[in-house]
Amino acid sequence: MSEKKAMRLELLALTKAYPGCIANDSVSLQVEPGEIHALLGENGAGKSTLMKMIYGVVKPDAGQMLWNDKEVSISGPAHARQLGMGMVFQHFSLFETLTVTENIALYLTPAEYGNLEQLRARIIAVGDEYGLAINPDRLVHSLSVGEQQRVEIIRCLLQDIQLLILDEPTAVLTPPEVAQLIDVLKKLARKGCSILFISHKLHEVNALCDKATILRGGKVTGTCIPRDTSPSQMARLMLGDELELQESMPAGHAGDCLLALDKIAVKPRDAFAIHLQDIHLRLHAGEILGLAGVAGNGQDELVDLINGELRSDSGSLLFSGKDIGLTAVQQRRELGLAVVPADRIGRGALGNMSLTENNLLTSYITQTGRLGWLHWPSIKARAATIIERFKVKATGPEASAKSLSGGNLQKFIIGREILQNPKVLVCFHPTWGVDVGAANLIHQSLIALRDQGAAILVISEDLDELYLLADRLGALCGGRLSPLATKAEVPLGQLGQWMTGNFGSHLADNTTMEVAHAH
């Protein structure tokens, strides 16, 4: 009789239910020491809930958890860390005005780090050991997103780490940062650390993971060996055989210029803001313009400027030939501008409000009756239409926004803006954190809106998405805009150079290229 193999983590029929929803239904899985194990599933499948149960953030209603072959009941994240678990959440939990060292000190107990000088030395040593070098004295607000993720990982590695849980770790990383992270994770695994890896980027799962467990509707529906399974096969395991992924999109046909930015400059309003400098941009009816860039290079300021939340210090902003530089947000929406912000909760939706009420947040201009009276049945019907057309998993229009998974809330916000038939749509990270099926639906919806004559600006750090959708491409770096050229004229290497600020001799030709495109 063969001896049972030792397991780092084993879940036995773990169950968690919320009102109107069973998030995890008798989920069982095993993770061996040194194994990189992917957890796959569409938005709302129960992945994040399962990870939070393992890490002690939420309590299971039923089932068992075995840690190193012994049953445990995790009382909270501090207990999980004592056992040797670390978790890097999709949304980082760092204080921007503190240094790297100070942030990590808040995560550990004084007994674990000694004093700040000792901790500083350990941060440098761990960074050197794993190729995660970071200056421990830098303020977090001065770090790129990739560098902030290094801080999150380093503070996990400072403990006796045996299991590292990563939730969408590559969602906002550049290709070089993704490659570096994969190298770090492989090195960790070789040292015996187990890794649970949640990602919607199936080619990364294919290249990195030893095994994958698939969740659908809160239940385990299968497992696979990623290196023996293509990304399209994994997508069908997640979403069913009916899934038809678009691997290419038809080109648009540019018409009149609907949005024009000329010599725009916006000085920083606070210590964390980016100085927008000499921005020239033309956005035409019937086209999608894609802008790449590492987070924190002026994307937020550009979106706020177009939306009317930020005023320029110089230059002009025209909408269909009309100067809107001093026009308020509501008036811009009345002209036909719509915006999908990067932050789903807080900017895109309010968590405690129902989907019906969230629908009204931006569509009140088109859905109010005479003299501004609200007709709630029709507003609720519109919310139901968004849920149906964009396949939002929700109990109904009265469900609160916070009850939806991140991907489903993203679909609702995108649907809300698209159904208003805007003339100009600005999408900031349109498919951030959504599964491949939802991303496919959003992409098709954006193409359909473009083909109806809308002008669409997509700002994304997902280069695959930009090359799939965009008719023209450019990049933001340090508050400056690269040249803008047709997709065929911008190979990946060129776009990567633009993302680092290497615009070459073309920077001065940006306006010329734009004018040539317009004619």
Q: Is a pLDDT exceeding 60 seen at residue 248?
A: yes
Please name which of 339, 327, 320, 519 lies closest in space to residue 428, comparing C-alpha atoms: 339
Do 85 and 211 lie in one domain? The reply is yes
Q: Over the stretch 365-395, which tens digit does the pLDDT of each residue have?
A: 777 666 678 888 889 999 999 999 998 988 8
First to last CA, the chain: 78
76 — pLDDT class (breaks 50, 70, 90) = very high
Q: Average pLDDT, stretch 400-412?
A: 88
The whole-angstrom separation of Cα 366 and Cα 349 is 18
The whole-angstrom separation of Cα 462 and Cα 225 is 25
Of 197, 221, 239, which one is at a domain's C-terminal end?
239
Do 284 and 359 lie in one domain? The reply is no
Q: Is a pLDDT exceeding 50 seen at residue 518?
A: no
Phi, psi of 406 (to 5 degrees): -60, -40
Do 226 and 294 lie in one domain? The reply is no
Indicate whether 78 belongs to any domain: yes
| Structural domain total, the chain | 3
Are the C-beta atoms of 53 and 72 separated by less than 8 Å?
A: no
Report the share of the chain in percent with pLDDT over 90. 56
Indicate whether 98 belongs to any domain: yes
Do 331 and 389 lie in one domain? The reply is no
Do 39 and 142 lie in one domain? The reply is yes
Do 410 and 271 lie in one domain? The reply is no
Indicate whether 438 belongs to any domain: no
Please name which of 409, 317, 513 lies closest in space to residue 44, comparing C-alpha atoms: 409
Task: Give the CATH number for residue 195.
Answer: 3.40.50.300
Give the length of the chain.
Answer: 519
The whole-angstrom separation of Cα 474 and Cα 495 is 7
Q: Is a pLDDT exceeding 70 seen at residue 172?
A: no
Of 207, 239, 271, which one is at a domain's C-terminal end?
239
Q: What is the pLDDT of residue 3?
A: 60
pTM, full prediction: 0.74
Residue numbers of the domain that contains 410: 345-421
Do 205 and 304 lie in one domain? The reply is no
Q: What is the pLDDT of residue 176?
A: 75
Do 414 and 426 lie in one domain? The reply is no
Indicate whether 26 belongs to any domain: yes
Question: Under the phi-then-psi rule, with left for phi > 0, alpha for psi from -120 to 50, and beta for the rest, what region is 131?
Answer: left
Indicate whether 83 belongs to any domain: yes
Residue 100, beta-bridge partner list: none
Do 76 and 178 lie in one domain? The reply is yes
Is residue 40 classed as helix, strand or coil in its secondary structure? strand
Cα 194 to chain centroid distance, Å, stands at 24
Q: Average pLDDT, stretch 509-519?
A: 39
Do 79 and 186 lie in one domain? The reply is yes
Indicate whether 273 belongs to any domain: yes
Please name which of 91, 57, 49, 95 lies closest in space to residue 76, comparing C-alpha atoms: 57
Of 187, 205, 239, which one is at a domain's C-terminal end?
239
Do 120 and 58 lie in one domain? The reply is yes
Q: What is the DSSP string of 258-308?
A: EEEEEEEEE--SSTT---EEEEEEEEETTEEEEEE--TTSSHHHHHHHHHT
Most confident option among 92-96, 104-108, 413-417, 434-438: 413-417
Indicate whether 444 belongs to any domain: no
Do 404 and 330 lie in one domain? The reply is no
Indicate whether 290 belongs to any domain: yes
Q: Over the stretch 249-300, which tens digit does the pLDDT of each residue have?
A: 888 999 999 999 999 999 988 777 889 999 999 999 999 999 998 777 899 9
Q: What is the DSSP string of 461-485?
A: S-HHHHHHH-SEEEEEETTEE---E
Q: Per the structure block, which two tokens stand in for 382?
A: 């519109």
